[in-house]
A and B are shown apart, each in its own frame.
Chain A
């Protein structure tokens, strides 16, 4: 029993020792934990020196960011703003509508209005952007000058008709905007050379750019071809043009066959020969004082009417004018735009003939566009004449030259002398740059109608070369 008690007391002492040891160990662990926490805290807290360095880095980073953001010129940009302001009856102005729509000073009604104001804007704008904007502004305000020059040589081949002819024309155009939606346009032109028509006797013209304006001593003359003022009204639906006009700029237009300097050269493929010109001649003589009005629905339909004095003279204004009207229908089918036109005209002056005609151009796929014209003339001295033409234009026929154009057309006309004139033309225009193009031209006249001095001809070939410069 005593032994048991002794053992038990010995065991109790051992347990007490163990407990003490555990307690000491626990204290040690606690101390270590505190030391670790202290060390961790010290490690995570930067020293004064580290803090200073950190501050310097942050300051430098901010300054760098500021410098980078200011790296562009800080001169403010300038812009005219169209602002809304609210104005009382006695002139008090506000940038926001006053409460109740009444002037806070005198309780008069307030109306809102649009006003223009120049503002300085703190905007990133490079020097080149500023220069570009200023040039665009100057161009908008000033007179835009255009320069166009066309040189054509044609060699005719046929019995007794092997001749080389050259024609050169220069146009200087001036365009200005005297008021909002108002355009003033002037075209000054000089032409040298009559082409092959004087000895081949074509009724429709084998070179629509020809017609010398030289004096009898061969001195070049610059003449006023067009000078007109145009304006738009009713949100652009109505446009009006008045002055010395070329009405073919507005009627019988065609996307494929309407420009002898870029497309077909034969007159038959520039305009319908039966469209009739109120004034016969070239250059300044071909145009006369006139008016043109158009109503654009901004949908498929557009309507135009025009009137022109029978000769290029102020005295002719009181005489029966040349009158013309046209309906344009635009559509989209066969993979591209199509334009279909119906026109009718009545001559003034001595020739009271009338004519009606149709005209279309239609894209077929991405690269081809067809065209056609038909006209019928009645009344006047030249009765019951007809004419028609068909053709197409191709873009990028050689696939490696994406901006080249090729055209092929055939046309037929009952001429004023009753004879038939029909011919075909093919051209290929090489795009060299935005300002320069070169064209190879080939025409074959199956029949030329001739005139009072020249007998009708058959089977006449003309090969040509055209250079066109345009700015």
Chain B
């Protein structure tokens, strides 16, 4: 018994030290032995089932991390401790945790069908990952590296956002005009707390049911304001944005924007939300304080993301029409500031702005490249042969999105 007691004590001390270590590293990300997550860009390659690492100081490819056959990774995020990378392995129905010290897959967590998008709480404790084809959301304990719960009742759960502090998260349904609030304060009681109906597409559907029986363009993503006070949810079918008060958990305003809005992107200072509208090829600029549209800017087709320079003076929207095009906007004067064409048959996916705001790395799936936008000059360089179908990009300490 004495031996057992000693073992038990040792285990408790080890767990306490490990937990303490996790919290400490969460507070202050440290350099891993393998790669420095603060200066490395990670790019998921959907069709070569690996992750490419790019050194952002030299823009050279440092190497590729194999994820396994037919994983088809979609989205990736550096876990806030800076030592691990969480990847959605869409085709193998897995979440993968990559150890950035050894550059190996340390954990494969079986999930539901078609996991694509997710978000991680800012303490690195939890992740919510949507199993798109199954209509479920997996709750992942990132400390233990296990799925602790799978919640049903979603319709193409597509977008995820934890509020600062990690006690609440929002999930959007792309196959419905609905957003769910998830209570995540305690692991054992994680559950859907509220459901919010967004937009007035039900009125449009009344006159034209055929249109909505064949296709629904619901809500791609719930986007919190930077202070976490409100969540903006854009409904593709109605062209409206619901503003959800995260304290009272109610829709406090509905804002009409353009046709087929994709989602909202917050400016670095948090004062504006930019919403690309793929139907009428415009961008709506919303004043967060007034909750009104203050500008509508000409844009392009097939927009999948908006990034900003470090100071939030310029916005860059990525359009994949006949030409892959970077559209540039002056946010101070709310006007167009030019555009750069990257080439025909170039399908632009997602992008990451470096923490210093000097570069934006943009994945392009059809030419296996990552484009680097130098925000001071708006010059663009290309890193070719990154992998097969580069899709999502991520760095530690940056604003993260996927599509």
Contact = CB atoms under 8 A, between A and B. Distances in A.
A339 to B, nearest CB: 10
A470 interface: no
Nearest to B345: A82
Given A68-B93, A124-B72, A396-B256, A300 B336 contact: yes
Interface stretch (B15-23, B156-164, B200-208): B200-208
Given A71-B113, A83-B368, A123-B72, A433 B207 contact: yes
A64 B294 CA distance: 53
Nearest to B201: A402
A181 B341 CA distance: 12
Nearest to A336: B296
Given A65-B93, A124-B114, A403 B204 contact: yes
Contacts of B335: 299-300, 330-332
A434 B259 CA distance: 12
Interface in B147-175: none
B91 interface: yes
A453 interface: no
Interface in B300-341: 322-323, 325, 327, 334-341
Nearest to A180: B344
Contacts of B340: 235
Contact of A337 (B114, B255, B296, B338): B296
Interface string B23-43: 000000000000000000000
Interface stretch (A46-54, A114-122, A410-418): A114-122
B90 A124 contact: yes
Nearest to B114: A124
Contacts, number: 130
B297 interface: yes
Contacts of A298: 327, 336, 338-339
B380 interface: no
B292 interface: yes
Contacts of B292: 335, 365-366
B72 A332 contact: no
A247 to B, nearest CB: 22
Given A65-B93, A96-B385, A121-B47, A82 B366 contact: yes
Interface in B200-250: 200, 203-204, 207-208, 211, 238-240
B11 interface: no
A336 B256 CA distance: 12
Nearest to B49: A122
Contacts of B325: 236
Nearest to B333: A332
A84 B385 CA distance: 7
Interface string A296-340: 011110000000000000000000000000000011100111000
Given A335-B294, A402-B200, A299 B256 contact: no
A400 B203 contact: yes
B3 to A, nearest CB: 9
Given A84-B385, A300-B336, A401-B203, A366 B366 contact: no
A432 B203 CA distance: 10
Given A366-B256, A432-B208, A235 B341 contact: yes
A219 interface: no
A95 to B, nearest CB: 7
A119 B323 CA distance: 20
A367 interface: yes
A122 B292 CA distance: 45
Contacts of B204: 402-403, 431
A69 B92 contact: yes
Interface string A357-395: 000000101110000000000000000000000000001
Given A65-B110, A69-B93, A181 B345 contact: no
B63 interface: no
Nearest to B134: A68
B103 interface: no
A69 B366 contact: no
Contacts of A400: 203
A332 B296 contact: yes
A13 to B, nearest CB: 34
B346 interface: yes
B187 interface: no
A95 B388 CA distance: 13
Interface string B74-93: 00000000000000001111
B336 to A, nearest CB: 5
Contacts of B46: 123
Contact of B341 (A112, A236, A366, A403): A236
B367 A366 contact: no
A142 to B, nearest CB: 15
Contacts of B298: 330, 337
A406 to B, nearest CB: 15
B295 interface: yes
Contacts of B72: 122-124
A44 to B, nearest CB: 12
Nearest to A235: B341
Contacts of A68: 93, 113
B343 interface: yes
Contacts of B297: 332, 337
Given A112-B384, A330-B335, A335-B294, 9 more contacts: A68-B93, A72-B91, A83-B367, A96-B385, A298-B336, A332-B297, A336-B296, A396-B256, A402-B239
14 contacts: A68-B93, A79-B389, A81-B366, A121-B47, A124-B72, A180-B322, A181-B322, A300-B336, A332-B285, A332-B296, A335-B295, A337-B282, A366-B255, A367-B256
Interface of A: 65, 68-69, 71-72, 79-84, 95-96, 112, 114, 116, 119, 121-124, 177, 180-181, 235-236, 297-300, 330-332, 335-337, 363, 365-367, 395-396, 400-403, 431-434
Which 8 pairs show the lowest CB-CB distances between chains A and B?
A433-B208, A332-B295, A82-B367, A84-B384, A121-B47, A124-B91, A332-B334, A337-B296
